[in-house]
C-alpha cells in the first residue's frame, strides 16, 4: 500500500454534491489501504469572484501592500474547500483533518500573488497519516518567512499538490480535473483533439509554459526536479470504478524518452492570449540597443518573451517584443519615460490583441521542415505571422488574436493530430 496525493480542481469541487463524490472516491482509496493526502482547489468561480471584489474596491492598483491583501483574500477559497472536504470525509466515516498552508507549513518566498514554494514541513502530515487519517491541505497557498499568507499564481493548486507529493515522497500524484487527461490541444477548442496516454515531461513543460492550463507550469517543473510520478485524469468517472482501472486512466507524464508510446513529430498545440506586443520604431542600429531597451525592462522585473529586430535601413531599425498583458501598460510607460529619450525616437506602438500559438513535440528534434509545414498551414488560411520563436522542441508564432482558434484547428489538422497515433 502506498502514499498517494490526489488533487481536485475547482470544477471537481464545484458543489456539495461534487465534494461528496470526491470524498467517496478518496474513501475508496483509503479503504484499499493507501495513505491519502488530498489537495483541493477553491470551488469553481470562487477565486475569480474574490479577486473581482478586490478589483471593485481598488481598480488598477498593484502595490505590494495591496497584493498582500489580495493573497489574504484569494486564499480563503481553498480554506472553504478543505473544510468542506474534511466534513464530507468524516460523514463517510473516515478520520480526516484539514490544514491551511500556514498550518503545515508550506513555506514560500514573499512574492505575493506569484510566490514560490521553498520548503514543506512533513511532520504533522506524517503523524496524521500514521494515525490513519486522510490529510487535506489547501492548494494555491503558503506562508512566507514573516508569517504572511501567500498564493502561488493562478492554477497554483497543481503546484501545491506536486510539491506536497515531492516532500512526502509519494508513490504518485494524481491530478483530477474536468477532462480525462492531457489532449493534443484544448478539447474545448478542437473537439477532434485526442487524449494522449503518455506525454513526456519535456513536452508537458513546453505545453504548460506555452499556455495549456491543464497543468500549471511550476507543477511540471516540480515533478521533473523531484521525479514525482504524475498523472492527469477525470474526476467525473463514477467514484466506484475499480482502483486498478482508475490508476491506469488519463495521461501519465513520463520521464524516459524511450517510454514514449506515441512518437509523433508534433505531440500537441498550445495557445494563449496572455501577451501583448510592443514595437519601438526607428531605433539606431548600433551595439547596445537591445540591452538599453530590454535591460530597463528586466530591471523593472518584467519578463520578455518573443523578440524580433528588423534589418536596418539608413542605420535605423524597428525592435519588437512581447510581455505579459498585465505588464503592458507599465512597460510602455517605462519605455516612454526612461528609454525612448536616449534612443532618439518617440515612435512606440503597442498591440494587446495578439495571441501566441505553439506546436510542441520532442520528435521535432530529429525532423526538418516542421516549421515550414506550420507556416504553410497558416498561410493556406490567410493568417499573417507577426513574430516567430523556436526552441529545440517547439515553434511559436504570434498572430492577431482573432485568428487563434482558426490557427489551432488548422495546425491540428496539418500535423494529423486528429488521427489515431501510429
Question: Within 11-70, which residues bind Mg ion (CB under 5 A)?
Answer: none
Asked whether the CA dihedral 22, 28, 30, 31 is positive or negative, the reply is positive
Do residues 302 and 323 lie in contact, with contact meaning Cβ atoms separated by under 8 Å? yes
186 contact choice in ligand ASP, ligand ADP, Mg ion, none (CB below 5 to 8 Å, kind-dependent): ligand ADP
Instruction: Select the residue interacting with ligand ASP from 140, 183, 201, 222 (CB under 6 A).
Output: 140
- Select from 177, 225, 183, 176 the least CA-distant residue to 201: 225
Q: List residues binding ligand ADP (CB under 6 A).
A: 9-12, 41, 155, 177-179, 182-183, 185-188, 212-214, 268
DSSP E strands: which ranges in 296-402?
304-309, 316-324, 348-351, 354-360, 387-391, 394-400
Do residues 108 and 143 lie in contact, with contact meaning Cβ atoms separated by under 8 Å? yes
Q: Is 183 annotated as a binding residue?
A: yes
CB of 235 vs ligand ADP, minimal distance in Å = 8
Cα–Cα separations (whole angstroms), residue 286 to 54, 223, 292, 407? 46, 43, 11, 36
214 contact choice in Mg ion, ligand ADP, ligand ASP, none (CB below 5 to 8 Å, kind-dependent): ligand ADP
Q: Is 9 annotated as a binding residue?
A: yes
| Angle CA 27–226–22, to nearest 5 | 20
Q: Is 31 annotated as a binding residue?
A: no
Q: Is 292 annotated as a binding residue?
A: no
Q: Is 177 annotated as a binding residue?
A: yes
Do residues 363 and 263 lie in contact, with contact meaning Cβ atoms separated by under 8 Å? yes
**41: contact with ligand ASP by CB under 6 A:** yes
Q: Is 83 annotated as a binding residue?
A: no
Q: Is 188 annotated as a binding residue?
A: yes
- Select from 321, 322, 408 the least CA-distant residue to 357: 408
Tracing cell 478539447 back to the chain, one arrives at 187
Q: Choose between 67 and 177: whose C-beta lies nearer to ligand ADP.
A: 177
- Select from 253, 276, 283 the least CA-distant residue to 175: 253
**155: contact with ligand ASP by CB under 6 A:** yes
**47: contact with ligand ASP by CB under 6 A:** yes
Contact range with ligand ASP by CB under 6 A, out of 40-48, 112-120, 122-130, 411-419: 40-48
**10: contact with ligand ASP by CB under 6 A:** yes
183 contact choice in ligand ASP, Mg ion, ligand ADP, none (CB below 5 to 8 Å, kind-dependent): ligand ADP
Q: Choose between 156 and 181: whose C-beta lies nearer to ligand ASP.
A: 156
Do residues 16 and 49 lie in contact, with contact meaning Cβ atoms separated by under 8 Å? no
Do residues 42 and 11 lie in contact, with contact meaning Cβ atoms separated by under 8 Å? no
Instruction: Select the residue interacting with Mg ion from 139, 155, 211, 361 (CB under 5 A).
Output: 155
Per CB under 6 A, residues contacting ligand ASP are 9-10, 41-42, 47, 77, 139-140, 154-158
Residues that bind Mg ion (CB under 5 A): 9, 155
Amino acid at each position: 500500500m502506498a502514499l498517494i496525493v490526489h488533487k481536485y480542481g475547482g470544477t471537481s469541487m464545484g458543489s456539495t454534491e461534487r465534494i461528496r463524490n470526491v470524498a467517496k472516491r478518496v474513501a475508496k482509496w483509503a479503504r484499499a489501504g493507501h495513505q491519502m493526502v488530498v489537495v483541493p482547489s477553491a470551488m469553481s468561480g470562487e477565486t475569480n469572484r474574490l479577486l473581482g471584489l478586490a478589483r471593485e474596491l481598488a481598480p488598477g492598483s498593484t502595490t505590494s501592500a495591496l497584493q498582500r491583501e489580495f493573497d489574504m483574500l484569494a486564499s480563503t477559497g481553498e480554506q472553504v474547500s478543505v473544510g468542506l472536504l474534511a466534513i464530507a470525509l468524516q460523514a463517510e466515516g473516515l478520520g480526516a483533518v484539514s490544514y491551511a498552508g500556514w498550518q503545515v507549513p508550506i513555506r514560500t518566498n514573499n512574492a505575493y500573488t506569484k510566490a514560490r514554494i521553498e520548503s514543506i514541513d512533513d511532520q504533522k502530515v506524517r503523524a496524521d497519516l500514521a494515525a490513519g487519517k486522510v490529510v487535506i491541505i489547501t492548494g494555491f497557498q503558503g506562508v512566507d518567512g514573516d508569517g504572511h499568507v501567500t498564493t502561488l499564481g493562478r492554477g497554483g493548486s497543481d503546484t501545491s499538490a506536486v510539491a506536497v507529493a515531492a516532500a512526502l515522497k509519494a508513490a504518485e500524484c494524481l491530478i483530477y480535473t474536468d477532462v480525462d487527461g492531457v489532449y493534443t490541444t484544448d478539447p474545448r477548442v478542437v473537439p477532434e483533439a485526442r487524449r494522449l496516454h503518455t506525454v513526456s515531461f519535456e513536452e508537458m513543460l513546453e505545453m504548460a509554459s506555452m499556455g495549456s492550463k491543464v497543468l500549471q507550469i511550476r507543477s511540471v517543473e516540480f515533478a521533473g526536479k523531484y521525479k514525482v510520478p504524475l498523472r492527469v485524469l477525470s474526476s467525473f468517472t463514477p467514484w466506484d470504478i475499480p482502483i486498478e482501472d482508475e490508476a491506469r486512466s488519463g495521461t501519465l507524464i513520463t520521464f524516459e524518452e524511450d517510454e514514449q508510446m506515441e512518437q509523433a513529430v508534433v505531440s500537441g498545440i498550445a495557445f494563449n492570449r496572455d501577451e501583448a506586443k510592443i514595437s519601438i520604431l526607428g531605433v539606431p542600429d548600433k551595439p547596445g540597443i537591445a540591452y538599453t531597451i530590454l535591460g530597463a525592462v528586466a530591471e523593472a522585473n518584467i519578463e520578455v518573451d518573443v523578440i524580433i529586430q528588423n534589418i536596418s535601413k539608413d542605420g535605423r531599425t524597428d525592435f519588437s517584443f512581447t510581455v505579459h498583458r498585465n505588464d503592458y501598460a507599465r512597460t510602455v510607460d517605462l519605455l516612454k519615460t526612461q528609454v525612448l529619450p536616449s534612443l532618439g525616437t518617440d515612435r512606440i506602438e503597442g498591440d494587446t490583441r495578439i495571441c501566441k500559438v505553439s506546436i510542441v513535440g520532442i520528435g521535432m528534434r530529429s525532423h526538418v521542415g516542421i516549421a515550414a509545414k506550420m507556416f504553410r498551414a497558416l498561410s493556406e488560411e490567410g493568417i499573417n505571422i507577426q513574430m516567430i520563436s523556436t526552441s529545440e522542441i517547439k515553434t511559436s508564432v504570434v498572430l492577431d488574436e482573432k485568428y487563434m482558434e482558426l490557427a489551432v484547428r488548422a495546425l491540428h489538422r496539418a500535423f494529423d493530430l486528429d488521427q489515431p497515433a501510429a
